[in-house]
């Protein structure tokens, strides 16, 4: 396991334990966050703390499982699954008590031992469908 992969795994471990303080070690002050679902999240470690608070408030039992990880040079790609139970408000959605499973992919660039830039794409529609906020689309070819 390379040094950069280790940093990314530590990032997911911090999420699983709710350890916001770890972001000060793992995330560069100049970190730039790219996530179309969360465009309003600040950059740097503070932004990652903000993101963690947002989702761990809504899903206090948040648990990431890294399914696959690939390191190439200064870049680490991770394919992951996250589970949780909706026990707190999320973007105006009242707690439903429903358990969710969501998949995603993150791409992180590391420099000087810290994550300096991150891109994330994950199944936000699947999350909203599981919460019952969005109706599941009909299968292709199905009659309405």
User: What's the CATH number where 8 sits?
Assistant: 3.10.450.50
pLDDT for 143 beyond 80: no
**Residue 27: what pLDDT?**
98
33 backbone dihedrals φ, ψ, rounded to 5° = -105, 130
Mean predicted confidence (pLDDT) in 9-18: 98
Domain range for 120 is 3-130
Q: Determine if residue 136 is left, alpha or beta; phi over 0 gives left, psi from -120 to 50 gives alpha, anything else beta.
A: beta
In a domain, 139, yes or no: no
> Which pTM value belongs to this model?
0.91
Mean predicted confidence (pLDDT) in 38-65: 96
Tally the domains of the chain.
1
Q: What is the mean pLDDT of the chain?
A: 95
Mean predicted confidence (pLDDT) in 94-100: 98
The rounded percent of the chain whose pLDDT value lies above 90 is 90
């Amino acid at each position: 396991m390379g040094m950069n992969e280790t940093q990314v795994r530590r990032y997911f471990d911090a999420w699983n334990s709710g350890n916001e303080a770890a972001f000060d070690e793992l995330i560069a002050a100049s970190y730039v966050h790219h996530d179309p679902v969360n465009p309003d999240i600040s950059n740097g470690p503070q932004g990652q703390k903000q993101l963690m608070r947002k989702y761990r408030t809504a899903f206090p039992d948040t648990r990431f499982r890294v399914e696959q990880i690939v390191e190439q040079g200064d870049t680490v790609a991770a394919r992951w699954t996250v589970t949780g139970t909706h026990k707190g408000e999320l973007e105006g959605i009242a707690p439903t008590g429903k358990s969710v499973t969501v998949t995603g992919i993150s791409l992180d660039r590391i420099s000087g031992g810290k994550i300096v830039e991150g891109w994330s794409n994950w199944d936000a529609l699947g999350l909203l469908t599981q919460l019952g906020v969005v109706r599941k689309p009909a299968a292709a070819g199905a009659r309405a």
